[in-house]
Every structure is written in structure tokens, then in C-alpha cells.
């Protein structure tokens, strides 16, 4: 499952590019966490591919941003106690 050649290339790129390093470290941290709590490789790949797809499409990014704002607003409304 591990391709040493590809990992070596990723590590080299992370050593020369701070943004790559930050992203690499975040992927390593969160993929380890996901593994420890029982995510499958397929589930992790699905989330990564969705994120990649969204990252490639500015219209989709905006749609997701609005959707999350609406979802958070609905959550706030549903947990607000109006009786006090």
C-alpha cells in the first residue's frame, strides 16, 4: 500500500515548500487519527477526492460555503431555547 518512491517525492517537495509541508503534516496527522478511530482507506480516499474536486472548482467552493453557512444557521436555530 505504501509507495516509497512517491513518499520520497512528497517529502522532498515538503522540505522545499512551506505550504506543501503544512499540508503534508496535516494529511499525516488527520489520516493517522482517521485510522485510529476506524476509518477505512476507502472512506479516507472518498473524503480526499471530494476535497480535491471542490478545490478545483470555484463555483463548487462557493456553493459548499453557502451550504455550510445555511447548515450552521439551521443548527443554531434548532439549539436555541426560545422559552427563556
Q: For 10-33, how does the pLDDT look when each residue is reduced to its tens digit (9 = 90+)?
A: 889 999 999 999 999 999 999 999
Range of the structural domain that residue 69 is part of:
40-84
Residues 35, 62 share a domain: no
| Out of 5-9, 12-16, 70-74, least confident range | 70-74
61 and 32 share one domain:
no
User: Residue 36's pLDDT band (boundaries 50, 70, 90)?
Assistant: very high
Please give the pLDDT value at position 4.
87
pLDDT the model gives residue 77: 62
Residue 75 and residue 49 share a domain: yes
Cβ within 8 Å of residue 31, ≥6 positions away: 44
Residue 73 has a pLDDT of 83
Domain count of the fold of the chain: 2
Count of Cβ atoms closer than 10 Å to residue 25 Cβ: 11
Same domain, 33 and 46: no
Evaluate if residue 43 carries a pLDDT over 90: yes
Task: Identify whether the C-beta of residue 6 lies closer than 8 Å to the C-beta of residue 13.
Answer: no
Amino acid at each position: 500500500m505504501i509507495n516509497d518512491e512517491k513518499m520520497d517525492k512528497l517529502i522532498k517537495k515538503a522540505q522545499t515548500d512551506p505550504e506543501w509541508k503544512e499540508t503534508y503534516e496535516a494529511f499525516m496527522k488527520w489520516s493517522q487519527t482517521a485510522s485510529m478511530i476506524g476509518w477505512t482507506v476507502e472512506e479516507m480516499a472518498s473524503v480526499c477526492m471530494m476535497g480535491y474536486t471542490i478545490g478545483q472548482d470555484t463555483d463548487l467552493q462557493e456553493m459548499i460555503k453557502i451550504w455550510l453557512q445555511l447548515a450552521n444557521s439551521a443548527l443554531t436555530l434548532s439549539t436555541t431555547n426560545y422559552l427563556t
